[in-house]
Amino acid sequence: MKNWRKLYFKIYKNKREEILVGSGIGEDNAIIDFGEEVCIMSTDPITGATKGIGKLAIYISCNDVASSGGRTYRSFVNHISTA
């Protein structure tokens, strides 16, 4: 199937009303409405970097949050290694 991405995002795009911004091509974050608070969550794979990867991960995620109009209060880094 050539257009699997279009089909996937057509099926799974924002099915829940509390998800203000959900998955999409080029979207690295989600914006979720928790009632009194709105949370911006960011995720980004870091590839090709060998030095300062932790700092780079924080910078990229904070930039994604800021570009969506939010401020970073907390950060969580998950490391997955193939070695």
Cβ atoms of 37 and 20 closer than 8 Å: no
Domain ranges in the chain? 16-67
Q: How confident is the model at residue 43 (pLDDT cuts 50, 70, 90)?
A: confident
Per-residue pLDDT reduced to its tens digit, 18-39: 888 876 777 778 889 999 989 8
No. of H helices and E strands in the chain? 2, 3
User: For the residues 3-20, what does the mean pLDDT come to?
Assistant: 71
> What is the pLDDT at residue 23?
66
